[in-house]
């Protein structure tokens, strides 16, 4: 009995084990089926992507093919247009070569020819009708000329707006030419097919623009020769009389004035014995200028013909140089510049110390001077110039000089000696200053007025003070 139960239990265990294996097999098969389905789905998606990519690539190929076809068509059209343009140029060149062009018509039609070409060829003998209508020389390359004209206009716009602008430009240019020309020259435009021919009516008849230009150039040359002749006559009549005498007088007056300044400077020195000296010398080492200045110091009547010719050449060359620098300037502008003797000279100063050693005053030398010496070097020549200028006045006239903010920026201890220079030059002075009183030992006496305003009150209040050489006296007046 026990064995039977054990056998049955074993059978039941085997049965359960077999059922478990069966269920495992079933589950394994389902899992593999799911995996297989997933793989199939992925393959299907991949196929669809490949199909879409293929379709997109095909569309791009079709677009490239369309563009290539359009570009090919454009190239074909451009080639045809270029062929047509070249054919038109060839026909134009052939027509130009075959046309019976005359000398006048070519010159009027072509306005910018190279030297030695048609525009420069000589004209036939004037006076006969056959000469005027003569054909151009057979060796002239008319086809090349026409080709050059076509090439010069290549690329220019030819629409209605461009043509209208070109016509307006031509008319405006002709109008300006008509306004500027005078003296028997009357330009006019004459339509000729699609062109305008510019002709100039003169006393000699109707001329082309080229002929009128050549005539004007010749007239200018002749007039230039006439001017040269008139210049010589002017020099002979005026230069060696009134003009030279006036220049000579002014140069001598300047030299005398400089000598007077130096005389005043020599008599007026600083406490250290320093003074300055003024020089008026030629500004250039040019031999022509040097000789001219020397000759101008002599009486013109005393000059022989050789020296007069040298002086004449100097002024003639100066006039020509001024005309070259200012071509449009008139003689009223040029002559004062050429005859200005002041431009031939320059002033400079030298510092003279107590031992009479002279040193030219330059910016570098000025920096080496003491404060007092530098102030004296600046003011001495100015005060000496006033002294020399007033020396020619009536002895009863005041020797007055007015100074505004005199000696500003100069150290206080240097102002007394500078005011002393005014005293040494015997000058009467009026000085406006916000701080200078004039109460220095070098000044024997001066009257001081302090000006005061108290807005909104009207007027200016003055407070007098007197310097008597020793002390300031408030309220005192001379």
- How confident is the model over 417-425, as a mean pLDDT? 88
pLDDT tier for residue 105 given thresholds of 50, 70 and 90: very low
Give yes or no for residue 226 having a pLDDT over 50. yes
Question: Has residue 459 been placed in a domain?
Answer: yes
Cβ atoms within 10 Å, residue 467? 19
Q: Dump pLDDT digits (tens) for 247-295.
A: 888 898 889 889 988 888 888 888 788 889 999 998 888 888 888 888 8
What domain count does the chain have? 2
- How confident is the model over 356-362, as a mean pLDDT? 91
Give yes or no for residue 472 having a pLDDT over 50. yes
Q: Dump pLDDT digits (tens) for 8-45.
A: 676 676 666 656 655 654 555 454 554 555 555 665 56
Q: Are 406 and 433 in contact (CB under 8 A)?
A: yes
Which has more confidence, 399 or 414?
399
pLDDT score recorded for residue 391: 83
Question: Has residue 189 been placed in a domain?
Answer: no
Q: Dump pLDDT digits (tens) for 368-412.
A: 988 888 888 888 888 888 888 888 788 888 899 999 988 877 888
Give yes or no for residue 125 having a pLDDT over 50. no
Q: Are 349 and 276 in contact (CB under 8 A)?
A: yes
The C-alpha atoms of residue 431 and residue 406 are separated, in whole angstroms, by 7
Question: Has residue 373 been placed in a domain?
Answer: no
Give yes or no for residue 118 having a pLDDT over 70. no
Residue 447 structure tokens:
């009257």
- How confident is the model over 205-220, as a mean pLDDT? 79
Calculate the alpha carbon distances from 318 to 20, 303, 310 in Å. Answer: 134, 20, 12
pLDDT score recorded for residue 108: 44
Q: Are 250 and 341 in contact (CB under 8 A)?
A: yes
CA angle 251, 253, 254 (to 5 degrees): 65
Give yes or no for residue 142 having a pLDDT over 60. no
CA angle 147, 149, 154 (to 5 degrees): 90
pLDDT score recorded for residue 54: 59
Question: Has residue 300 been placed in a domain?
Answer: no
Show which of 64, 93, 122 is a domain's final residue: 93
- How confident is the model over 160-189, as a mean pLDDT? 79
Q: What is the 3-state secondary structure (H, E, C) of the chain?
A: CHHHHHHHHHHHHHHHHHHHHHHHHHHHHHHHHHHHHHHHHHHHHHHHHHHHHHHHHHHHHHHHHHHHHHHHHHHHHHHHHHHHHHHHHHHHHHHHHHCCCEHHHHHHHCCCCCCCCHHHCCCCCCCCHHHHCCECCCCCCHHHHHHHHHHHCCCCCCCHHHHHHHHHHHHHHHHHHHHHCCCCCEEEEEEECCEEEEEEEECCEEEEHHHHHHHHHHHHHHHHHHHHHHHHHHHHHHHHHHHHHHHHHHHHHHHHHHHHHHHHHHCCCCCCCCEEEEEEEECCCCHHHHHHHHHHCCCHHHCCHHHHHHHHHHHHHHHHHHHHHCCCCCHHHHHHHHCCHHHHEEEEEEEECCCCCEEECCHHHHHHCCHHHHHHHHHHHHHHHHHHHHCCCCCCCCCEEEEECCCCCCCHHHHHHHHHHHHHCCCEEEEECCCCCCCCCCCCCEEEEEEECCCCCCCCEEEEEEECCCCEEECCCC
What number of CA atoms fall less than 13 Å from residue 475's CA on the CB side? 0
pLDDT score recorded for residue 134: 38
**CA dihedral (291, 292, 296, 302) positive or negative:** positive
Question: Has residue 105 been placed in a domain?
Answer: no
pLDDT tier for residue 415 given thresholds of 50, 70 and 90: confident
Strands 446-452 and 461-467: antiparallel
Give yes or no for residue 424 having a pLDDT over 50. yes
The C-alpha atoms of residue 63 and residue 55 are separated, in whole angstroms, by 13
Q: Dump pLDDT digits (tens) for 146-163.
A: 667 667 667 777 778 887
pLDDT score recorded for residue 248: 86
Which has more confidence, 141 or 197?
197
Which has more confidence, 435 or 58?
435
Q: What domain range includes position 444?
A: 393-478
pLDDT score recorded for residue 137: 42
pLDDT tier for residue 450 given thresholds of 50, 70 and 90: very high
pLDDT score recorded for residue 91: 66
- How confident is the model over 287-316, as a mean pLDDT? 84
CA 434 to chain centre: 45
- Residue 280 phi, psi dihedral angles, 5° rounding: -130, 100
Show which of 75, 93, 111 is a domain's final residue: 93
Question: Has residue 205 been placed in a domain?
Answer: no
- Per the prediction, the chain carries an average pLDDT of 75
Q: Among 293, 291, 288, which residue's Cα sits nearest to residue 252?
A: 293
Question: Has residue 465 been placed in a domain?
Answer: yes
Residue 230 structure tokens:
């008139």
pLDDT score recorded for residue 117: 38
pLDDT score recorded for residue 109: 47
Residue 235 structure tokens:
């020099």
Show which of 41, 66, 93 is a domain's final residue: 93
Question: Has residue 443 been placed in a domain?
Answer: yes
% of the chain with per-residue pLDDT over 90: 11
pLDDT score recorded for residue 246: 87
Cβ atoms within 10 Å, residue 383? 22
% of the chain with per-residue pLDDT over 70: 65
Q: Are 477 and 463 in contact (CB under 8 A)?
A: no
């Amino acid at each position: 009995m026990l064995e039977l139960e054990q056998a049955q239990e074993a059978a039941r265990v085997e049965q359960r084990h077999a059922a478990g294996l069966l269920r495992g097999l079933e589950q394994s098969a389902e899992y593999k089926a799911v995996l297989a389905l997933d793989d199939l789905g992925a393959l299907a998606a991949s196929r669809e992507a490949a199909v879409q990519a293929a379709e997109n690539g095909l569309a791009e190929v079709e677009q490239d093919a369309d563009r290539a076809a359009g570009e090919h068509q454009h190239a074909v059209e451009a080639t045809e247009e270029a062929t047509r343009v070249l054919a038109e140029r060839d026909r134009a060149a052939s027509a130009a070569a075959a046309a019976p062009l005359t000398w006048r018509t070519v010159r009027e039609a072509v306005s910018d020819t190279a030297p030695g070409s048609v525009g420069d060829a000589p004209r036939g003998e004037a006076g006969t009708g056959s000469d005027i209508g003569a054909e151009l020389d057979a060796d002239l390359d008319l086809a090349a000329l026409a080709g050059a004209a076509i090439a010069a206009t290549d690329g220019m716009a030819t629409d209605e707006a461009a043509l209208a602008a070109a016509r307006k430009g031509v008319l405006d240019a002709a109008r300006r030419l008509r306004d500027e020309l005078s003296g028997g020259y009357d330009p006019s435009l004459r339509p000729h097919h699609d062109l305008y021919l510019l002709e100039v009516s003169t006393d000699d008849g109707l001329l082309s623009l080229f002929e009128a230009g050549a005539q004007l150039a010749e007239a200018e040359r002749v007039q230039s020769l006439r001017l040269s002749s008139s210049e010589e006559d002017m020099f002979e009549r005026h230069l060696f009389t009134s003009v030279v005498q006036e220049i000579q007088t002014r140069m001598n007056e300047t030299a005398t004035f400089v000598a007077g300044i130096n005389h005043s400077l020599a008599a007026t020195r600083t406490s250290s014995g320093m003074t300055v000296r003024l020089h008026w010398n030629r500004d250039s080492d040019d031999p022509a200028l040097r000789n001219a200045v020397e000759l101008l110091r002599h009486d013109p009547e005393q000059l022989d013909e050789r020296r007069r010719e040298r002086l004449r050449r100097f002024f003639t060359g100066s006039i020509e140089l001024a005309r070259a620098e200012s071509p449009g300037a008139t003689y009223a502008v040029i002559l004062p510049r050429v005859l200005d003797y002041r431009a031939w000279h320059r002033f400079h100063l030298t510092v003279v110390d107590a031992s009479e050693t002279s040193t030219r005053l330059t910016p570098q030398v000025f920096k080496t001077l003491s404060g007092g010496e530098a102030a004296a070097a600046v003011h001495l020549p100015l005060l000496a110039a006033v002294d020399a200028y007033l020396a020619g006045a009536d002895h009863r006239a005041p020797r007055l000089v007015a100074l505004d903010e005199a000696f500003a920026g100069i150290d206080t201890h240097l102002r007394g000696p500078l005011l002393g220079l005014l005293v040494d030059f015997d000058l009467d002075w009026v000085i406006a200053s916000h701080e200078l009183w004039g109460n220095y030992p070098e000044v024997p006496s001066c009257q001081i007025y302090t000006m005061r305003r108290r807005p909104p009150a009207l007027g200016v209040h003055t407070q007098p003070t007197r310097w008597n050489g020793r002390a300031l006296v408030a309220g005192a007046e001379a």
